[in-house]
Structure 1
Amino acid sequence: MNSPCLRTALSGIYIRHIGALGTYTNIPKRSRYFWEARPECRERKLLMQITLPRLKQAVDPTQFVKEVEEEKLYGLDVILHKEVQQIFNENELIAVCLYSEMPSDNFYQVRYELQQHGMSMEKYPEHVMEFTLKQTPYENMLELFRGETAVIFGEANVKQMISAVSKNNYLLLLGGLVQGRYMSLKELIKFSNLSGLDSSRAELSFLLNTAVSSTKNTMQKPTHQLIHSLQQYIEQCSNASNGS
């Protein structure tokens, strides 16, 4: 292995390779193409929250008094919690319906009808609603979210909302919040029967015009009577003078 001939041959091979490397041009790494930043959609955020690991904190053996565990949300519930907060902060109508299992076509059909009038419908777990509304001005609505429910939110088109829900046998309207006021089912129906703002203005204008005209006629009636009496008196005097 240590013969001079073998060393000479290996040195020749080494020199040839070094020479080849000397003429080799460095090729840069393949450039990487990135997609432009896309806006996060709801489904992508939900998927990211689901895949997050939930690791428990290691127990300290030197700690004799157990700390009270705070109620927290994890994973998908964090996204739903933020959605519920946004619903209650940005919408003038929030209605609660008792929900029973229905075909998906029926659910999306109702939501489509609601969307035509500036509203929408979603489902949220009971524990998320309780965590979100607890110790808030909307805590009184927690009684409506007992069990499996659906939330309708958006513009205060109560009449169209009741019409869309009444067509579905799997939804039962319980009550809601309209422009900051809590309403039961009867109050929602009564509110839906009220006329719109334009018709109310027209009715008010008609009543005011009627009152003004009647007041004017009432004030002018004594004047007309006095004029008529004077005319009769003048005629009687002229007839008496002509007769004499």
Structure 2
Amino acid sequence: MAATLCGKILSRLGWLPCTQTVRHGSKAVTRHRKPMHFLKQKLMAVTEFIPPRPSPPERCIVPQASRTQEHESGLVVILRREVEQLFQDNKMILVAQNNAITAEDMLLLRHKLHRLNVTVKFYPNQVMRSYLSGSKFQNLAPLFIAQNVLLVSKEPKVKEVLRCLRTTPQMVLLGGCIEDTLLSLQGVHSYSRLPSLAILQGQVVSGLTLMTSQTAALLHRHPTHLSALLQQYVKQQAEGSSDGSTQAQQAASA
């Protein structure tokens, strides 16, 4: 009786063995994806959808209608007037770049240039660009970027200034304005090879004198030649008449 009851109860609850086998790890059968054919890869790359880039907002494209203008200080205005007067009073203004020159070398250079009546000037780049932007020398504005120095003289003494700058490699010449003419570095060197004004004036005077002397010689040539021909003709006529008279006298005496 007890055995039948236990059998019925165990059959309802389910019989579990004492040991169970549990398998760990991957599955026995795995399916790997085949690589795509290279022609299909090319086709997929060509036909890939590229979404359009969003356009920037209109407020980033259209400039602002009004901008606040910065008011210049009184010192900038005074320095700009001084630069304007500097360009009006001087015939030679050269722009050089200061490449870490020492104070002693700068003092020696200023002393050498002072003996040539050449002055060394220092102005901020903001002042120079503000003046040059509205003047006829506006093409000099790109030269004023780093630490610049102005070599100013009332007379163009380019050859002497270049001779002084050869002994100071820290000062690099960039260009300049000579007699209201903007010159690059090559133009400044070409200007220095030109003869002086006195030599040019002597060449002009000698050329004009030679032309006037040649013109005077050409004007006197024809009258002189004509007078020589007339004198020769008169002489020949006088000799002919004297020969004729002697022949007549001989004939009469015979």
TM-score of the two chains, using structure 2 as the length reference: 0.58
Q: Unaligned 5+ residue runs, structure 1?
A: 1-66
Alignment of 1:50-199 (within 5 A): 68=68, 70=70, 72=72, 83-155=82-154, 156-199=156-199
Q: Indicate the SS of the match to 1:152.
A: strand
Letter aligned with residue 147 of structure 1:
A
Q: Cα deviations across residues 102-138 of structure 1 (Å, max 9, x unaligned)?
A: 2323222222222222211133443343344343443
Distance 1:106 1:127 in 2: 26
Structure of higher CA gyration radius: 2
Letter in 2 for 1:224: T
CA contact (8 A) 2:101 2:171 kept: no
Q: Aligned partners of 2:136, 2:215: CA distance in 1, in Å?
A: 49
CA distance in 2, matches of 1:222, 1:148: 71
Distance 1:163 1:79 in 2: 33
> 1:141 Cα shift?
1.3
The Cα of 1:193 is off from its aligned counterpart by: 3.3
- DSSP 3-state at the match of 2:183: strand
How many residue pairs align between the two structures? 178
Give the SS at the match of 1:219.
helix
C-alpha distance in structure 2 between counterparts of 1:135 and 1:108, whole Å: 33
Aligned-residue identity in percent: 24
**Contact 2:137 2:182 (C-alpha < 8 Å) held by counterparts:** no
Distance 1:212 1:137, change over 3 A: closer
Q: TM-score, normalised by structure 1?
A: 0.60
Whole-Å separation in 1 of the counterparts to 2:241 and 2:135: 93
Query: How far, CA to CA, are the matches of 1:240 and 1:159 in structure 2?
Result: 75
Give the RMSD, CA atoms, in angstroms.
3.0
Q: Which runs of 5+ in 2 are unaligned?
A: 1-66, 245-254
SS in structure 2 of the partner of residue 168 of structure 1: coil
